């Protein structure tokens, strides 16, 4: 919080393409239009499931807080008929103010042939590929849409995550 009680936004984290944890053989495979098959010992794969993509990422989490701000005003006028008497007039209203705060949660994004998984120390995400409605590519991120909810992930090589999903569909 600042001295004026305004939320300070954290700067968006960035990656360079060299910070990817995706092996170069997997990168070559994805760029050539094939799915990679990665050995990820810390991920519990289901029967017939193969990991096709993994990389460091930040999940962007937006939180909206609405609070009411009271606004009031008024005036006081002396009476022209009675000495020492004042008339007071005023009004007040409550105005809702919404503030949005963005947090960036570090973790790893996995794309398998059956699920999309984000692992993190602050929670995580596990969704089936079948529940993915759309994906939105950005220069440094990918937005994954599940129904009406879009979850954005910042990645060192977001283009490879997009290509992996394109190969799958």
Domain limits of the chain? 17-62+102-168, 66-98
What is the per-residue pLDDT for 2? 36
Instruction: Report the chain (169 residues): mean pLDDT per 10 consecutive residues.
Output: 47 80 93 93 92 95 83 77 77 81 92 96 91 94 95 94 93
CA distances to 44, 88, 101, 132 from 156, in Å = 24, 63, 23, 22
Fold of 17-62+102-168: PH-domain like (2.30.29)
């Amino acid at each position: 919080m600042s001295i004026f009680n305004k939320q300070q936004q954290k700067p968006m984290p960035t990656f360079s393409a060299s910070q990817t944890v995706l092996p170069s053989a997997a990168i070559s495979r994805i760029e050539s239009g094939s799915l990679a098959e990665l050995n990820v010992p810390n991920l519990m794969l289901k029967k017939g499931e193969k990991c096709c993509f993994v990389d460091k990422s930040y999940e962007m989490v937006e939180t909206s807080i609405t609070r009411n701000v009271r606004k009031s005003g008024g005036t006081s006028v002396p009476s022209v008929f009675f000495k020492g008497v004042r008339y007071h007039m005023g009004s007040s209203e409550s105005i809702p103010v919404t503030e949005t705060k963005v947090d960036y949660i570090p973790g790893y994004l996995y794309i398998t042939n059956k699920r999309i998984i984000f692992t993190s120390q602050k929670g995580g995400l596990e969704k089936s590929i079948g529940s993915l409605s759309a994906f939105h590519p950005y220069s440094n991120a990918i937005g994954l849409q599940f129904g009406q909810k879009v979850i954005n992930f910042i990645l060192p090589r977001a283009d490879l995550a997009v290509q992996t999903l394109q190969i799958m569909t």
